[in-house]
A and B are shown apart, each in its own frame.
Chain A
Protein backbone atom coordinates (compact mmCIF):
# COMPACT_ATOMS: atom_id res chain seq x y z
CA UNK A 1 0.00 0.00 0.00
CA UNK A 2 1.33 3.40 -0.74
CA UNK A 3 -0.01 6.58 0.64
CA UNK A 4 -0.22 9.98 -0.90
CA UNK A 5 0.32 13.04 1.17
CA UNK A 6 0.38 16.70 0.47
CA UNK A 7 3.81 18.17 0.54
CA UNK A 8 4.67 21.69 -0.37
CA UNK A 9 7.86 22.30 -2.27
CA UNK A 10 10.33 24.15 -0.12
CA UNK A 11 11.45 26.30 -2.98
CA UNK A 12 8.02 27.28 -4.18
CA UNK A 13 5.59 27.75 -1.34
CA UNK A 14 2.54 27.14 -3.47
CA UNK A 15 0.73 25.37 -4.92
CA UNK A 16 0.94 22.13 -3.02
CA UNK A 17 2.19 19.13 -4.91
CA UNK A 18 1.05 15.54 -4.67
CA UNK A 19 3.96 13.31 -3.86
CA UNK A 20 3.89 9.57 -3.40
CA UNK A 21 5.78 8.37 -0.40
CA UNK A 22 6.43 4.90 0.88
CA UNK A 23 4.19 2.48 2.68
CA UNK A 24 4.71 3.57 6.23
CA UNK A 25 5.89 6.66 7.97
CA UNK A 26 7.69 7.01 11.25
CA UNK A 27 4.47 6.91 13.20
CA UNK A 28 3.07 3.70 11.85
CA UNK A 29 5.88 1.27 11.20
CA UNK A 30 8.20 -0.92 13.18
CA UNK A 31 11.06 -0.59 10.76
CA UNK A 32 14.18 1.09 12.07
CA UNK A 33 14.03 4.42 10.33
CA UNK A 34 17.29 5.64 11.78
CA UNK A 35 20.11 4.40 9.58
CA UNK A 36 23.09 6.20 11.07
CA UNK A 37 25.92 4.21 12.51
CA UNK A 38 25.67 3.58 16.25
CA UNK A 39 28.56 4.33 18.57
CA UNK A 40 28.63 2.99 22.11
CA UNK A 41 29.79 5.61 24.57
CA UNK A 42 28.97 7.36 27.82
CA UNK A 43 25.54 8.89 27.50
CA UNK A 44 24.66 10.11 30.98
CA UNK A 45 27.59 12.46 31.44
CA UNK A 46 27.55 15.41 29.04
CA UNK A 47 31.23 16.21 29.48
CA UNK A 48 32.28 12.58 29.00
CA UNK A 49 30.26 12.49 25.80
CA UNK A 50 31.65 15.84 24.70
CA UNK A 51 35.19 14.52 25.09
CA UNK A 52 34.23 11.47 23.05
CA UNK A 53 32.62 13.63 20.38
CA UNK A 54 35.69 15.84 20.16
CA UNK A 55 37.85 12.73 19.66
CA UNK A 56 35.53 11.67 16.86
CA UNK A 57 35.79 15.11 15.27
CA UNK A 58 32.10 15.91 15.75
CA UNK A 59 32.32 18.77 18.19
CA UNK A 60 32.85 22.50 18.27
CA UNK A 61 34.41 22.67 21.74
CA UNK A 62 31.25 23.48 23.69
CA UNK A 63 29.30 20.82 25.61
CA UNK A 64 27.19 18.57 23.42
CA UNK A 65 24.01 16.68 24.19
CA UNK A 66 24.48 12.93 23.43
CA UNK A 67 22.32 12.15 20.39
CA UNK A 68 20.86 8.93 21.71
CA UNK A 69 18.26 7.11 19.71
CA UNK A 70 15.66 8.18 22.24
CA UNK A 71 16.51 11.86 21.95
CA UNK A 72 16.68 11.78 18.17
CA UNK A 73 13.37 9.90 17.92
CA UNK A 74 11.75 12.34 20.34
CA UNK A 75 13.05 15.24 18.26
CA UNK A 76 11.72 13.70 15.06
CA UNK A 77 8.41 12.80 16.67
CA UNK A 78 7.47 16.48 16.73
CA UNK A 79 7.67 16.52 12.95
CA UNK A 80 6.40 13.91 10.53
CA UNK A 81 9.33 14.32 8.25
CA UNK A 82 10.79 11.04 7.14
CA UNK A 83 14.29 10.61 8.59
CA UNK A 84 15.70 9.47 5.27
CA UNK A 85 14.31 12.42 3.33
CA UNK A 86 17.22 14.09 1.60
CA UNK A 87 16.92 17.83 2.10
CA UNK A 88 19.99 18.83 0.12
CA UNK A 89 23.62 18.14 -0.60
CA UNK A 90 26.09 20.49 1.03
CA UNK A 91 29.54 21.09 -0.45
CA UNK A 92 32.35 20.28 -0.34
CA UNK A 93 31.37 16.76 0.72
CA UNK A 94 28.14 16.74 -1.28
CA UNK A 95 26.87 13.90 0.86
CA UNK A 96 23.15 13.53 1.45
CA UNK A 97 21.92 15.87 4.15
CA UNK A 98 18.97 13.89 5.48
CA UNK A 99 16.39 14.83 8.07
CA UNK A 100 18.01 12.22 10.30
CA UNK A 101 21.43 13.90 10.13
CA UNK A 102 19.80 17.25 10.77
CA UNK A 103 18.01 15.87 13.83
CA UNK A 104 21.17 14.27 15.23
CA UNK A 105 23.16 17.48 14.94
CA UNK A 106 20.28 19.58 16.26
CA UNK A 107 20.01 17.34 19.32
CA UNK A 108 23.75 17.65 19.91
CA UNK A 109 23.49 21.43 19.62
CA UNK A 110 20.58 21.60 22.06
CA UNK A 111 18.17 23.01 19.49
CA UNK A 112 14.44 22.70 20.26
CA UNK A 113 12.57 20.31 17.98
CA UNK A 114 10.31 23.15 16.91
CA UNK A 115 13.25 24.74 15.09
CA UNK A 116 13.54 21.85 12.61
CA UNK A 117 11.58 23.59 9.81
CA UNK A 118 13.71 26.70 10.25
CA UNK A 119 16.94 24.70 10.11
CA UNK A 120 15.72 22.86 7.01
CA UNK A 121 14.82 26.11 5.24
CA UNK A 122 18.22 27.59 6.06
CA UNK A 123 20.01 24.50 4.75
CA UNK A 124 18.03 24.65 1.52
CA UNK A 125 19.24 28.20 1.06
CA UNK A 126 22.83 27.31 1.86
CA UNK A 127 22.74 24.49 -0.67
CA UNK A 128 21.75 26.75 -3.56
CA UNK A 129 24.75 27.00 -5.92
CA UNK A 130 24.32 30.77 -5.96
CA UNK A 131 25.13 30.84 -2.27
CA UNK A 132 28.56 29.52 -3.16
CA UNK A 133 28.92 27.40 -0.04
CA UNK A 134 31.70 25.54 -1.83
CA UNK A 135 33.97 28.58 -1.74
CA UNK A 136 32.63 29.80 1.57
CA UNK A 137 33.53 26.60 3.37
CA UNK A 138 37.05 26.47 1.97
CA UNK A 139 38.11 30.10 2.09
CA UNK A 140 40.80 31.85 4.07
CA UNK A 141 38.16 34.48 4.93
CA UNK A 142 36.36 34.50 8.31
CA UNK A 143 32.95 34.27 6.63
CA UNK A 144 30.00 32.66 8.37
CA UNK A 145 26.47 32.27 7.00
CA UNK A 146 24.05 34.61 8.75
CA UNK A 147 20.44 33.43 9.15
CA UNK A 148 17.79 36.16 9.18
CA UNK A 149 14.28 35.10 10.21
CA UNK A 150 11.04 36.74 9.10
CA UNK A 151 7.43 36.04 9.93
CA UNK A 152 5.36 35.11 13.00
CA UNK A 153 7.72 32.22 13.71
CA UNK A 154 10.14 34.78 15.18
CA UNK A 155 7.86 35.11 18.19
CA UNK A 156 6.83 31.46 18.28
CA UNK A 157 10.47 30.40 18.52
CA UNK A 158 11.63 33.39 20.55
CA UNK A 159 14.13 34.46 17.89
CA UNK A 160 15.84 37.69 19.06
CA UNK A 161 15.22 40.74 16.90
CA UNK A 162 15.31 43.58 19.40
CA UNK A 163 18.00 44.47 21.95
CA UNK A 164 21.07 42.27 21.63
CA UNK A 165 19.67 40.39 18.68
CA UNK A 166 23.12 39.67 17.24
CA UNK A 167 24.40 38.30 20.51
CA UNK A 168 23.62 38.56 24.17
CA UNK A 169 19.87 38.10 24.24
CA UNK A 170 19.24 34.62 25.68
CA UNK A 171 16.99 32.33 23.69
CA UNK A 172 16.85 28.56 23.44
CA UNK A 173 16.33 28.91 19.70
CA UNK A 174 19.82 30.33 19.30
CA UNK A 175 20.93 26.70 19.44
CA UNK A 176 19.38 26.30 15.99
CA UNK A 177 22.21 28.49 14.74
CA UNK A 178 24.68 26.18 16.42
CA UNK A 179 22.93 23.20 14.84
CA UNK A 180 23.46 24.74 11.40
CA UNK A 181 27.13 25.23 12.23
CA UNK A 182 27.47 21.58 13.34
CA UNK A 183 25.78 20.46 10.13
CA UNK A 184 28.22 22.49 8.07
CA UNK A 185 31.01 20.75 9.93
CA UNK A 186 29.66 17.21 10.14
CA UNK A 187 27.67 16.93 6.92
CA UNK A 188 29.06 19.57 4.55
CA UNK A 189 32.55 18.67 5.79
CA UNK A 190 33.98 22.06 6.74
CA UNK A 191 36.96 21.25 8.93
CA UNK A 192 39.46 23.93 9.82
CA UNK A 193 42.95 23.12 8.52
CA UNK A 194 41.54 20.25 6.48
CA UNK A 195 38.89 21.50 4.08
CA UNK A 196 38.82 25.03 5.45
CA UNK A 197 41.73 27.42 5.34
CA UNK A 198 40.22 30.30 7.31
CA UNK A 199 43.06 32.48 8.52
CA UNK A 200 41.35 33.91 11.59
CA UNK A 201 37.82 32.54 11.64
CA UNK A 202 35.24 34.52 13.57
CA UNK A 203 33.21 34.25 16.80
CA UNK A 204 30.10 33.67 14.70
CA UNK A 205 31.50 30.38 13.49
CA UNK A 206 30.66 28.81 16.84
CA UNK A 207 26.94 29.50 17.39
CA UNK A 208 26.21 30.98 14.00
CA UNK A 209 24.46 34.33 13.61
CA UNK A 210 20.72 33.75 13.89
CA UNK A 211 18.33 36.63 14.47
CA UNK A 212 15.08 38.14 13.28
CA UNK A 213 13.95 41.35 11.68
CA UNK A 214 11.84 43.68 13.83
CA UNK A 215 9.03 43.77 11.33
CA UNK A 216 6.64 45.51 13.70
CA UNK A 217 8.94 48.51 13.95
CA UNK A 218 10.36 48.43 10.46
CA UNK A 219 9.05 51.05 8.04
CA UNK A 220 9.89 48.71 5.21
CA UNK A 221 8.33 45.46 4.10
CA UNK A 222 9.85 42.37 5.71
CA UNK A 223 13.15 41.48 4.07
CA UNK A 224 11.97 38.06 2.86
CA UNK A 225 8.75 39.54 1.49
CA UNK A 226 10.81 41.99 -0.57
CA UNK A 227 12.50 38.93 -2.00
CA UNK A 228 9.23 37.25 -2.88
CA UNK A 229 8.60 35.08 0.19
CA UNK A 230 5.85 36.23 2.56
CA UNK A 231 5.30 34.91 6.05
CA UNK A 232 7.73 32.61 7.80
CA UNK A 233 11.04 32.62 6.00
CA UNK A 234 14.77 32.56 6.43
CA UNK A 235 17.36 34.40 4.42
CA UNK A 236 20.95 33.21 4.49
CA UNK A 237 23.79 35.61 3.76
CA UNK A 238 27.52 34.99 3.93
CA UNK A 239 29.07 37.62 6.14
CA UNK A 240 32.61 38.40 7.16
CA UNK A 241 31.26 39.40 10.57
CA UNK A 242 29.59 42.38 12.19
CA UNK A 243 30.88 45.91 11.76
CA UNK A 244 29.55 48.45 14.24
CA UNK A 245 28.75 51.98 13.11
CA UNK A 246 28.18 54.50 15.90
CA UNK A 247 26.55 57.85 15.22
CA UNK A 248 25.66 60.14 18.10
CA UNK A 249 25.55 63.23 15.91
CA UNK A 250 23.20 62.81 12.95
CA UNK A 251 19.61 63.98 13.14
CA UNK A 252 18.13 63.42 9.68
CA UNK A 253 17.71 60.48 7.38
CA UNK A 254 20.27 61.69 4.84
CA UNK A 255 22.79 62.31 7.62
CA UNK A 256 22.38 58.82 9.09
CA UNK A 257 22.73 57.26 5.64
CA UNK A 258 25.82 59.32 4.79
CA UNK A 259 27.47 58.30 8.04
CA UNK A 260 26.47 54.67 7.54
CA UNK A 261 27.55 54.51 3.91
CA UNK A 262 30.91 56.18 4.50
CA UNK A 263 31.60 53.86 7.42
CA UNK A 264 31.08 50.82 5.20
CA UNK A 265 33.72 51.97 2.72
CA UNK A 266 37.25 50.79 3.43
CA UNK A 267 39.69 49.26 0.96
CA UNK A 268 39.90 45.86 2.62
CA UNK A 269 36.14 45.29 2.61
CA UNK A 270 34.89 42.44 0.44
CA UNK A 271 33.08 44.73 -1.96
CA UNK A 272 36.30 46.52 -2.85
CA UNK A 273 38.36 43.40 -3.45
CA UNK A 274 39.51 42.77 -7.00
CA UNK A 275 39.25 39.07 -6.22
CA UNK A 276 35.54 39.09 -7.04
CA UNK A 277 33.59 41.05 -9.63
CA UNK A 278 30.48 41.78 -7.56
CA UNK A 279 29.27 41.63 -4.00
CA UNK A 280 26.31 42.35 -1.76
CA UNK A 281 26.29 44.59 1.32
CA UNK A 282 23.81 44.08 4.16
CA UNK A 283 23.11 46.86 6.64
CA UNK A 284 21.04 46.57 9.83
CA UNK A 285 19.37 49.83 10.84
CA UNK A 286 17.98 50.22 14.35
CA UNK A 287 14.25 51.06 14.61
CA UNK A 288 14.88 54.59 15.87
CA UNK A 289 16.99 55.53 12.86
CA UNK A 290 14.70 53.58 10.55
CA UNK A 291 11.75 55.75 11.55
CA UNK A 292 13.70 58.97 10.95
CA UNK A 293 15.11 57.70 7.66
CA UNK A 294 11.68 56.68 6.45
CA UNK A 295 10.25 60.06 7.47
CA UNK A 296 12.85 61.85 5.36
CA UNK A 297 13.28 59.31 2.57
CA UNK A 298 10.06 57.39 2.03
CA UNK A 299 11.22 55.00 -0.67
CA UNK A 300 13.54 52.14 0.24
CA UNK A 301 15.16 52.28 -3.21
CA UNK A 302 16.28 55.82 -2.42
CA UNK A 303 17.66 54.67 0.92
CA UNK A 304 19.68 51.98 -0.85
CA UNK A 305 20.89 54.48 -3.43
CA UNK A 306 22.10 56.93 -0.78
CA UNK A 307 23.97 54.28 1.19
CA UNK A 308 25.49 53.01 -2.04
CA UNK A 309 26.64 56.46 -3.14
CA UNK A 310 28.38 57.07 0.16
CA UNK A 311 29.80 53.56 0.43
CA UNK A 312 32.44 54.35 -2.15
CA UNK A 313 36.14 55.15 -2.21
CA UNK A 314 38.07 57.52 -4.44
CA UNK A 315 40.15 55.28 -6.69
CA UNK A 316 43.28 57.33 -6.06
CA UNK A 317 42.93 56.50 -2.36
CA UNK A 318 43.72 52.87 -3.19
CA UNK A 319 47.19 51.42 -3.62
CA UNK A 320 48.41 51.44 -7.20
CA UNK A 321 48.21 47.68 -7.75
CA UNK A 322 44.76 47.52 -6.14
CA UNK A 323 43.46 50.37 -8.30
CA UNK A 324 44.92 48.86 -11.48
CA UNK A 325 43.17 45.56 -10.87
CA UNK A 326 39.83 47.28 -10.30
CA UNK A 327 40.33 49.46 -13.37
CA UNK A 328 40.95 46.34 -15.43
CA UNK A 329 37.61 45.03 -14.20
CA UNK A 330 35.89 48.32 -15.17
CA UNK A 331 34.87 48.90 -11.59
CA UNK A 332 36.11 52.48 -11.35
CA UNK A 333 33.20 54.82 -12.14
CA UNK A 334 33.97 58.52 -12.42
CA UNK A 335 37.03 58.03 -10.25
CA UNK A 336 35.24 56.05 -7.53
CA UNK A 337 34.82 52.41 -6.56
CA UNK A 338 31.60 51.22 -4.90
CA UNK A 339 30.99 48.56 -2.26
CA UNK A 340 28.44 46.93 -4.57
CA UNK A 341 27.99 47.07 -8.32
CA UNK A 342 24.44 48.41 -8.02
CA UNK A 343 22.36 50.11 -5.29
CA UNK A 344 19.95 47.15 -5.29
CA UNK A 345 22.74 45.03 -3.85
CA UNK A 346 22.69 47.11 -0.66
CA UNK A 347 20.40 45.01 1.53
CA UNK A 348 18.69 47.00 4.27
CA UNK A 349 17.05 45.37 7.30
CA UNK A 350 15.59 46.71 10.54
CA UNK A 351 16.40 45.20 13.94
CA UNK A 352 18.12 46.02 17.22
CA UNK A 353 17.20 47.85 20.39
CA UNK A 354 15.45 51.12 20.92
CA UNK A 355 18.59 52.73 22.29
CA UNK A 356 19.46 53.46 18.67
CA UNK A 357 22.87 55.09 18.08
CA UNK A 358 24.30 52.15 16.14
CA UNK A 359 23.99 50.44 12.81
CA UNK A 360 25.63 47.16 11.85
CA UNK A 361 27.31 46.44 8.56
CA UNK A 362 27.60 42.87 7.35
CA UNK A 363 30.26 42.77 4.68
CA UNK A 364 29.65 39.89 2.34
CA UNK A 365 31.87 37.06 1.14
CA UNK A 366 33.01 36.72 -2.44
CA UNK A 367 30.13 36.83 -4.84
CA UNK A 368 27.94 34.77 -2.50
CA UNK A 369 24.29 35.69 -3.21
CA UNK A 370 21.64 35.88 -0.50
CA UNK A 371 19.08 33.09 -0.57
CA UNK A 372 15.58 33.26 0.90
CA UNK A 373 13.41 30.24 1.60
CA UNK A 374 10.00 29.75 3.13
CA UNK A 375 9.88 27.97 6.49
CA UNK A 376 7.35 25.25 5.91
CA UNK A 377 5.74 22.69 8.16
CA UNK A 378 6.40 19.06 7.39
CA UNK A 379 4.07 16.92 5.29
CA UNK A 380 0.57 16.75 6.75
CA UNK A 381 1.42 19.43 9.27
CA UNK A 382 0.17 22.45 7.47
Chain B
Protein backbone atom coordinates (compact mmCIF):
# COMPACT_ATOMS: atom_id res chain seq x y z
CA UNK B 1 0.00 0.00 0.00
CA UNK B 2 1.51 3.31 -1.06
CA UNK B 3 0.16 6.78 -0.84
CA UNK B 4 0.66 9.22 -3.66
CA UNK B 5 -0.99 12.04 -5.51
CA UNK B 6 -3.67 11.68 -8.13
CA UNK B 7 -4.96 14.51 -10.27
CA UNK B 8 -8.52 15.73 -9.90
CA UNK B 9 -10.57 14.72 -12.97
CA UNK B 10 -13.37 17.22 -12.45
CA UNK B 11 -13.87 20.70 -13.78
CA UNK B 12 -16.11 23.30 -12.27
CA UNK B 13 -17.39 26.64 -13.38
CA UNK B 14 -15.85 29.36 -11.27
CA UNK B 15 -18.40 32.16 -11.62
CA UNK B 16 -21.73 32.26 -9.84
CA UNK B 17 -24.40 34.86 -9.23
CA UNK B 18 -26.11 34.00 -5.98
CA UNK B 19 -28.57 36.90 -6.10
CA UNK B 20 -32.10 36.09 -7.22
CA UNK B 21 -32.00 39.21 -9.36
CA UNK B 22 -34.45 42.11 -9.22
CA UNK B 23 -37.90 41.75 -7.68
CA UNK B 24 -40.91 41.95 -9.97
CA UNK B 25 -42.25 44.74 -7.76
CA UNK B 26 -45.70 46.19 -8.41
CA UNK B 27 -47.40 44.63 -11.41
CA UNK B 28 -49.32 47.69 -12.50
CA UNK B 29 -48.20 48.85 -15.90
CA UNK B 30 -45.73 45.98 -16.33
CA UNK B 31 -45.64 43.47 -19.16
CA UNK B 32 -45.36 39.93 -17.88
CA UNK B 33 -44.12 37.33 -20.33
CA UNK B 34 -45.01 33.67 -19.96
CA UNK B 35 -42.76 31.21 -21.72
CA UNK B 36 -44.84 28.14 -22.61
CA UNK B 37 -43.88 24.94 -24.40
CA UNK B 38 -45.47 22.39 -26.71
CA UNK B 39 -45.49 19.54 -24.25
CA UNK B 40 -47.24 20.40 -21.01
CA UNK B 41 -50.90 21.33 -21.37
CA UNK B 42 -51.16 21.64 -17.57
CA UNK B 43 -48.68 24.52 -17.75
CA UNK B 44 -50.87 26.21 -20.38
CA UNK B 45 -53.88 25.99 -18.06
CA UNK B 46 -51.97 27.34 -15.06
CA UNK B 47 -50.41 30.14 -17.08
CA UNK B 48 -53.84 31.18 -18.37
CA UNK B 49 -55.18 31.48 -14.83
CA UNK B 50 -52.15 33.32 -13.47
CA UNK B 51 -52.19 35.62 -16.50
CA UNK B 52 -55.83 36.55 -15.87
CA UNK B 53 -55.04 37.33 -12.24
CA UNK B 54 -51.99 39.42 -13.15
CA UNK B 55 -54.09 41.38 -15.63
CA UNK B 56 -56.56 42.11 -12.85
CA UNK B 57 -53.60 43.55 -10.95
CA UNK B 58 -52.92 45.95 -13.82
CA UNK B 59 -50.32 44.03 -15.80
CA UNK B 60 -50.25 43.26 -19.49
CA UNK B 61 -49.51 39.65 -20.35
CA UNK B 62 -47.71 38.12 -23.31
CA UNK B 63 -47.22 34.47 -24.16
CA UNK B 64 -44.40 32.89 -26.11
CA UNK B 65 -44.34 29.23 -26.94
CA UNK B 66 -41.04 27.40 -27.30
CA UNK B 67 -40.45 23.87 -28.44
CA UNK B 68 -37.71 21.29 -28.02
CA UNK B 69 -36.34 21.74 -31.52
CA UNK B 70 -33.49 23.97 -30.48
CA UNK B 71 -30.94 22.87 -33.05
CA UNK B 72 -30.09 23.75 -36.64
CA UNK B 73 -31.91 26.44 -38.57
CA UNK B 74 -35.06 25.89 -36.52
CA UNK B 75 -33.07 26.36 -33.35
CA UNK B 76 -31.70 29.66 -34.59
CA UNK B 77 -35.24 30.86 -35.32
CA UNK B 78 -36.36 29.85 -31.84
CA UNK B 79 -33.39 31.59 -30.22
CA UNK B 80 -34.09 34.79 -32.15
CA UNK B 81 -37.78 34.67 -31.28
CA UNK B 82 -36.94 34.16 -27.60
CA UNK B 83 -34.59 37.10 -27.66
CA UNK B 84 -37.23 39.34 -29.22
CA UNK B 85 -39.81 38.13 -26.72
CA UNK B 86 -37.54 38.86 -23.76
CA UNK B 87 -36.86 42.33 -25.13
CA UNK B 88 -40.59 43.02 -25.18
CA UNK B 89 -41.40 42.21 -21.54
CA UNK B 90 -40.63 43.50 -18.05
CA UNK B 91 -41.01 40.28 -16.06
CA UNK B 92 -40.38 36.70 -17.16
CA UNK B 93 -42.19 33.57 -15.96
CA UNK B 94 -40.55 30.58 -17.61
CA UNK B 95 -41.89 27.04 -17.63
CA UNK B 96 -42.27 24.23 -17.42
CA UNK B 97 -39.56 22.08 -15.96
CA UNK B 98 -41.42 18.81 -15.90
CA UNK B 99 -38.92 16.46 -17.50
CA UNK B 100 -35.15 16.31 -17.78
CA UNK B 101 -34.49 18.08 -21.04
CA UNK B 102 -37.44 20.46 -20.71
CA UNK B 103 -36.19 21.47 -17.27
CA UNK B 104 -32.88 22.06 -18.96
CA UNK B 105 -34.41 24.36 -21.55
CA UNK B 106 -36.66 26.03 -19.00
CA UNK B 107 -33.63 26.92 -16.89
CA UNK B 108 -31.55 27.91 -19.90
CA UNK B 109 -34.29 30.26 -21.16
CA UNK B 110 -34.77 31.61 -17.64
CA UNK B 111 -31.05 32.31 -17.44
CA UNK B 112 -31.29 34.20 -20.73
CA UNK B 113 -34.04 36.34 -19.24
CA UNK B 114 -32.19 36.87 -15.97
CA UNK B 115 -29.00 37.75 -17.82
CA UNK B 116 -30.94 40.52 -19.55
CA UNK B 117 -31.72 41.91 -16.12
CA UNK B 118 -35.37 40.90 -16.11
CA UNK B 119 -37.07 39.81 -12.88
CA UNK B 120 -37.23 36.12 -13.74
CA UNK B 121 -38.88 33.10 -12.22
CA UNK B 122 -38.56 29.57 -13.55
CA UNK B 123 -41.37 27.11 -12.89
CA UNK B 124 -40.61 23.45 -12.20
CA UNK B 125 -42.53 20.56 -10.73
CA UNK B 126 -41.44 18.99 -7.46
CA UNK B 127 -39.58 16.04 -8.95
CA UNK B 128 -37.45 18.39 -11.05
CA UNK B 129 -36.81 20.98 -8.32
CA UNK B 130 -33.30 19.80 -7.53
CA UNK B 131 -32.43 19.46 -11.20
CA UNK B 132 -33.60 23.03 -11.78
CA UNK B 133 -31.44 24.40 -8.98
CA UNK B 134 -28.43 22.35 -10.06
CA UNK B 135 -28.71 23.51 -13.66
CA UNK B 136 -29.15 27.11 -12.59
CA UNK B 137 -25.98 26.86 -10.51
CA UNK B 138 -24.07 25.29 -13.39
CA UNK B 139 -25.40 28.04 -15.60
CA UNK B 140 -23.78 30.56 -13.28
CA UNK B 141 -26.88 31.72 -11.39
CA UNK B 142 -27.48 29.58 -8.34
CA UNK B 143 -29.75 32.32 -7.01
CA UNK B 144 -32.27 31.99 -9.85
CA UNK B 145 -35.84 32.14 -8.58
CA UNK B 146 -37.56 28.78 -9.07
CA UNK B 147 -41.16 28.21 -8.08
CA UNK B 148 -42.19 24.63 -7.48
CA UNK B 149 -45.52 23.13 -8.50
CA UNK B 150 -46.71 19.70 -7.35
CA UNK B 151 -45.94 16.52 -9.26
CA UNK B 152 -47.53 14.75 -11.07
CA UNK B 153 -49.28 17.60 -12.83
CA UNK B 154 -49.62 17.02 -16.56
CA UNK B 155 -51.27 13.66 -15.93
CA UNK B 156 -54.22 15.42 -14.25
CA UNK B 157 -57.41 16.71 -15.85
CA UNK B 158 -58.04 20.43 -16.20
CA UNK B 159 -60.54 20.40 -13.36
CA UNK B 160 -57.81 19.05 -11.11
CA UNK B 161 -55.12 21.42 -12.34
CA UNK B 162 -57.06 24.66 -12.02
CA UNK B 163 -57.20 24.54 -8.20
CA UNK B 164 -53.42 24.10 -8.20
CA UNK B 165 -53.08 27.36 -10.12
CA UNK B 166 -55.16 29.23 -7.57
CA UNK B 167 -53.44 27.56 -4.62
CA UNK B 168 -50.07 28.77 -5.93
CA UNK B 169 -51.14 32.25 -6.95
CA UNK B 170 -49.88 33.93 -3.80
CA UNK B 171 -46.77 31.83 -3.43
CA UNK B 172 -45.65 32.30 -7.00
CA UNK B 173 -45.97 36.06 -6.58
CA UNK B 174 -43.86 35.77 -3.46
CA UNK B 175 -41.22 33.88 -5.44
CA UNK B 176 -41.37 36.49 -8.20
CA UNK B 177 -40.92 39.30 -5.69
CA UNK B 178 -44.23 40.89 -6.58
CA UNK B 179 -45.18 43.83 -4.42
CA UNK B 180 -48.84 43.01 -3.80
CA UNK B 181 -49.36 46.07 -1.62
CA UNK B 182 -47.72 48.91 -3.52
CA UNK B 183 -47.64 52.23 -1.72
CA UNK B 184 -50.10 54.80 -2.98
CA UNK B 185 -47.34 57.18 -4.00
CA UNK B 186 -45.79 54.45 -6.11
CA UNK B 187 -49.04 54.02 -7.96
CA UNK B 188 -49.55 57.73 -8.43
- Residues of B contacting A197 in the complex (Cβ-Cβ under 8 angstroms): 99-100, 103, 127-128, 131
Could you show 11 A-B contacts with beta carbons less than 8 Å apart?
A38-B6, A38-B7, A39-B5, A39-B8, A96-B11, A129-B75, A130-B72, A132-B71, A139-B101, A189-B138, A277-B38
- Residues of A contacting B39 in the complex (Cβ-Cβ under 8 angstroms): 274-275
The closest CB in chain A to the CB of B7 belongs to A36
Q: Is B170 located at the chain interface by the 8 A CB criterion?
A: no
From known contacts A138-B103, A139-B100, infer whether A104 and B69 are also in contact, taking CB-CB under 8 Å.
no
Whether B6 lies near A49 (C-beta < 8 A) is: yes
Whether A39 lies near B6 (C-beta < 8 A) is: yes
Whether A138 lies near B6 (C-beta < 8 A) is: no
* Other contacts beyond A42-B2, A43-B3: 7, CB < 8 A: A95-B13, A138-B101, A186-B9, A186-B10, A274-B38, A366-B69, A366-B101
Q: Is A134 located at the chain interface by the 8 A CB criterion?
A: yes
- Residues of B contacting A195 in the complex (Cβ-Cβ under 8 angstroms): 131, 134-135, 138
- Residues of B contacting A34 in the complex (Cβ-Cβ under 8 angstroms): 7
Q: Is B67 located at the chain interface by the 8 A CB criterion?
A: yes
CA distance A67 to B8 in the complex (A): 8
A126-154 near B? 1/0 per residue, CB < 8 Å: 00011110111111110000000000000
CA distance A45 to B11 in the complex (A): 25
Whether A367 lies near B75 (C-beta < 8 A) is: yes
Query: In the complex, how many angstroms separate the beta carbon of B179 from the nearest chain A beta carbon?
Result: 33
From known contacts A48-B1, A93-B13, infer whether A367 and B71 are also in contact, taking CB-CB under 8 Å.
yes
CA distance A42 to B3 in the complex (A): 5
Interface footprint category on B = 35 or more
Whether A141 lies near B101 (C-beta < 8 A) is: yes
CA distance A140 to B131 in the complex (A): 11
- Nearest first, the 6 closest Cβ-Cβ pairs linking A and B are A135-B101, A139-B100, A197-B100, A95-B11, A138-B104, A43-B4
Q: Is A98 located at the chain interface by the 8 A CB criterion?
A: yes
CA distance A217 to B72 in the complex (A): 32
Q: Is B50 located at the chain interface by the 8 A CB criterion?
A: no
From known contacts A58-B10, A92-B104, A138-B103, infer whether A367 and B74 are also in contact, taking CB-CB under 8 Å.
yes
From known contacts A58-B9, A139-B99, infer whether A130 and B75 are also in contact, taking CB-CB under 8 Å.
yes
Whether B128 lies near A40 (C-beta < 8 A) is: no
Considering only residues 73-93 of chain B, those with a C-beta below 8 Å from chain A are 74-75
Q: Is B70 located at the chain interface by the 8 A CB criterion?
A: yes
- Residues of B contacting A39 in the complex (Cβ-Cβ under 8 angstroms): 5-8
The closest CB in chain A to the CB of B98 belongs to A140
Whether B72 lies near A93 (C-beta < 8 A) is: no
Q: Is B108 located at the chain interface by the 8 A CB criterion?
A: yes
Whether A104 lies near B138 (C-beta < 8 A) is: no
CA distance A67 to B7 in the complex (A): 6
Query: In the complex, how many angstroms separate the beta carbon of B18 from the nearest chain A beta carbon?
Result: 17
Q: Is B53 located at the chain interface by the 8 A CB criterion?
A: no
Residue A105 contacts which of B9, B131, B140 (CB distance < 8 angstroms)?
Answer: B9
CA distance A275 to B2 in the complex (A): 53
Query: In the complex, how many angstroms separate the beta carbon of A273 from the nearest chain B beta carbon?
Result: 9
Give A residues with C-beta under 8 Å from B. 34, 36-45, 48-49, 57-58, 66-69, 72, 91-98, 100-101, 104-105, 108, 129-132, 134-141, 182, 186-187, 189, 193-198, 274-278, 325, 329, 366-369
The closest CB in chain B to the CB of A65 belongs to B6
- Residues of A contacting B70 in the complex (Cβ-Cβ under 8 angstroms): 132, 135, 367
CA distance A105 to B11 in the complex (A): 11
The closest CB in chain B to the CB of A52 belongs to B6
Q: Is B105 located at the chain interface by the 8 A CB criterion?
A: yes
- Residues of B contacting A105 in the complex (Cβ-Cβ under 8 angstroms): 9
From known contacts A93-B11, A139-B104, infer whether A40 and B4 are also in contact, taking CB-CB under 8 Å.
yes
Query: In the complex, how many angstroms separate the beta carbon of A186 from the nearest chain B beta carbon?
Result: 5
Whether A275 lies near B68 (C-beta < 8 A) is: yes
B161-188 near A? 1/0 per residue, CB < 8 Å: 0000000000000000000000000000
- Residues of A contacting B3 in the complex (Cβ-Cβ under 8 angstroms): 40-43
Q: Is B160 located at the chain interface by the 8 A CB criterion?
A: no
Query: In the complex, how many angstroms separate the beta carbon of B96 from the nearest chain A beta carbon?
Result: 12
CA distance A100 to B10 in the complex (A): 10
From known contacts A92-B135, A92-B138, A194-B134, infer whether A38 and B5 are also in contact, taking CB-CB under 8 Å.
yes
Q: Is B159 located at the chain interface by the 8 A CB criterion?
A: no
Query: In the complex, how many angstroms separate the beta carbon of A196 from the nearest chain B beta carbon?
Result: 7
CA distance A329 to B128 in the complex (A): 27
